[in-house]
Amino acid sequence: MENKNIIDRLIKLMPISSKDETRHHLCGVCIEQATDRRELILTVTDGHKAIRETVQHDYLPELIGDKKYLVTRDQLPILKAMLKANKIYMPEIKLNRIDTSEDISFRCGGFTFTAEWLQNYPNVEQIIPDKNKLDKVLSFNAQYLIDLANALADGNKDTVIKLCFKDVTTPIIIKNTRTNREAVLMPCRV
């Protein structure tokens, strides 16, 4: 995947992250290496909704290793400026360790954004229900659904989004049928 697309995905996923500073570990997008060493997993949640997607990249996963990193909400202006300044050509992303800390910085062109090392991040895989047993109706916060649909649609207004769920207490799986991106929405009481 091109560097421009990784930056774009971080920007599009960031609104899903928590705005609650007391839950700092949820205030951004988590980046980790996938089982396939040429893929990165981007995960974002605010505790009520979550998106987890896999993106391909040639060398960043190897540099990240087995650790998880958080690109926080305060990095969003830098990411937007980076994408805007590099619309035509995006130079290679360089990854550096910051001093003696576990944090890393990403440099691209004249811009730098940082990612903090995360020791604890929710295991989103644990909340994803069995897709074959989802067949009931329930109510949920419509704005959450709109935010998730916009993030999954990737700007394409014709994107089909599937909603799959089991019962009123089970999380809903939302799937982009074109790209196979998935998100999870937690149910709420009406």
Which architecture does CATH list for 3-118?
Answer: Roll (3.10)
Give me the pLDDT at residue 14, please: 92
Q: What distance in Å separates the CA atoms of residue 87 and residue 91, rounded to the nearest whole number?
A: 11
In angstroms, the Cα distances linking 44 to 8, 56, 178 are 14, 17, 20
Give me the pLDDT at residue 145, please: 74
Strands (E), 35-181: 39-45, 49-56, 68-72, 94-97, 104-108, 111-118, 161-164, 172-176
Higher pLDDT, 8 or 90: 8
pLDDT digits (tens, 9 = 90+) for 122-154: 777 776 666 666 665 555 677 777 787 778 777
Q: What distance in Å separates the CA atoms of residue 82 and residue 101, rounded to the nearest whole number?
A: 24
Q: What percent of the chain has pLDDT above 90?
A: 6
- Where does the pLDDT of residue 41 fall: very low under 50, low under 70, confident under 90, or very high at 90 and above? confident
How many residues are there in the chain?
Answer: 190
Exposure on the CB side of residue 109, measured as CA atoms within 13 A:
17
Q: What distance in Å separates the CA atoms of residue 48 and residue 45, rounded to the nearest whole number?
A: 7
- The first and second tokens of residue 122, run together, are 């929710």
Residue extents of the structural domains in the chain: 3-118, 128-185
Lowest mean pLDDT, pick from 34-43, 44-53, 55-64, 174-183: 55-64
pLDDT digits (tens, 9 = 90+) for 106-129: 777 677 888 888 887 777 777 666
0.85 cut: is pTM over it? no
Nearest-CA neighbor of 122 among 20, 27, 33? 27
- Where does the pLDDT of residue 29 fall: very low under 50, low under 70, confident under 90, or very high at 90 and above? very high
Count CB neighbours of 188 within 10 A.
Answer: 12
Q: Is the pLDDT of residue 38 over 70?
A: yes
